Structure 1
């Protein structure tokens, strides 16, 4: 709950952040994340934000849909789990009035296999599992195209679907599975495109284990999202600045050793 009179120290912090009088008053917010790196990083953000008078309560969600639903409903005040193309797709499909307020990290997506050491070994007619949401599924298809394995229709943008495949020399069978379930699918398919957070949660090494890996540059940097009506509130600037701090950058480098890349 926002206090009426901020202490002098908090006022100094507020001015340092360029937020104005009263902005750094003690406040508690709930931030939604998915398990794994997003939750770990936010734990590192918490003490930094606390010094600025912002108490962060972390709420974990097991999938990619509920965090935006909860945010739009006001059950949480922010979330940190998705890249911009996914957020844009959710807004278009579900009418969410959400906006990104800062970038966080990039998780280069990988294609993994329990059966083969390289993608060249995947047989003709092999089965490749991809996430069943349009953005991340399309991301894996773009990776396969980038590596010369398939071709996609011109002009598909960042959300191609299986129907957009125009050439598939290996006659791969592309199956769509819920992103969180993809690690479990590995024994049953020849390869699977798995988001880094779910790969790490399943004990996979996102640097060493993929048989194909996405270029870390590109549009898939993750973001902090809030409701449009909240974007100019003082706690938003504190949250973003605390996340994009030198301490958190060092934590990411030390903890994830290249599997997660900071955006700042």
Structure 2
């Protein structure tokens, strides 16, 4: 397993967000009025966000921009330093978290670009193919609100169940409307799901727990969230800026580079399916 994969184990943007201590912070003047600056300061989580940004530095340098990346290990301070103007942007969060942060904290952060998502996958348990599914099979899923909904949506996308109209990202087992194989949905704490691979037909895991269990998303997943899935569109990780700065030339240059074919190929080759570029 690649070294990068090991670092992914500490990252769970798809699950409950846990605040930690700040590992670094760059202090500078409020940048709101300095839209022509050739220095871009960005707050990021270590993996994969800061790694992707480090790779993007060369292309940005060719465009005349100096990208300065500061790693944070909590999910509060990166938004606060962008709101205050200490940093130009951040890259660590998905849209639902950004929206809930704005609502709770009264901040004014907006999406400047949608960059990647970290897909949920269906992995083999006692059955090695979805074609083998049989009446009464059990499927283990995470039991927390966000992750369970994503797991159920993935099962629906693969024809295993059908959810009530409108259930969407708030779906629970109570929203299962059709269950043609009479599968039993086994709800477990997210970290426990992979431990029942020898007891259930299939398990549904988010990327970091799949890696912890020794699964390769690219090689072992029987199915995973696609770019056009509701979950991928919802939980795409974004470049966030303070409202009004999304059209700054420096920010547009940053987003353009991160959405370039070069960076997309880097993401695909580095993370073996655990991180995938988002296609609009």
For 1:104 and 1:249, locate their aligned partners in 2 and report how far apart those are by CA, in whole Å: 9
Alignment-derived partner of residue 25 in structure 2: none
Q: Which of 185, 188, 194 is the equivalent residue of 1:173?
A: 185
Residue in 2 aligned with 1:24? Answer: 37
Match of 1:241 in 2: 256
Q: After superposition, give the CA deviation of every residue in 1:124-158 in whole Å (9 maximum; x if it has no partner).
A: 36351226242x43222111122232221122233
CA contact (8 A) 1:127 1:173 kept: yes
What does the per-residue CA deviation read over 1:139-186, in whole Å, with 9 as the maximum and x for residues that have no partner?
2211112223222112223332233223445352342535xx3xx641
What are the Cα deviations for residues 198-225 of structure 1, in whole angstroms up to 9, with x where unaligned? 5346542112211332333234242222
Change (3 A) 1:249 1:144: closer
Describe the superposition over 1:41-67 as per-residue Cα deviations: whole angstroms up to 9, x where unpaired. Answer: 222123333453333324254xxxx52
**How do 1:193-212 residues align onto structure 2 when only pairs under 5 Å count?**
193-196=204-207, 198-200=209-211, 203-212=214-223
Residue 56 of structure 1 corresponds to 68
- 1:12-70 deviations in Å (ceiling 9; x for gaps): xxxxxxxxx9713335x2322363x4443222123333453333324254xxxx52x33
Q: Name the TM-score, length of structure 2 as normaliser.
A: 0.65
Q: Measure the CA separation in 2 of the matches of 1:55 and 1:146.
A: 39
In 2 relative to 1, CA 218–107 (structure 1 residues): closer, same or farther, beyond 3 Å?
Answer: same
User: Alignment partner for residue 117 of structure 1, among 112, 128, 135?
Assistant: 128
Question: Where do 5+ consecutive residues of structure 2 fail to align?
Answer: 1-27
Could you say what secondary structure the match of 2:219 adopts? coil
Q: Tell whether the 8 Å contact from 1:3 to 1:25 is kept in structure 2 after alignment.
A: no
- Segments of structure 1 that go 5 or more residues without pairing to the other structure are 5-20
**TM-fit CA distance, 1:92:** 5.7
How far apart, in 1, do the equivalents of 2:160 and 2:92 lie? 29
* CA distance in 2 between partners of 1:131 and 1:227 (Å): 34
How far, CA to CA, are the matches of 1:149 and 1:3 in structure 2?
Answer: 52
| Residues 142 and 193, structure 2, Cα contact 8 Å, conserved in 1 | no
TM-score using structure 1 length = 0.68
1:102 aligns with 2:113: yes
- Equivalence for 2:77: 70
Conserved 8 A contact 2:56-2:258? yes
Pick aligned residue for 1:148 from 136, 145, 159? 159
**Shift, 1:115, TM fit:** 3.9
Contact 1:152 1:166 in 2 (8 A): yes
**1:232 positional shift:** 4.6
| Kept in 2: contact 1:104–1:244 (CA 8 A) | yes
The answer to whether the 8 Å contact 1:85/1:158 transfers is no
1:261 matched to which residue of 2? 277
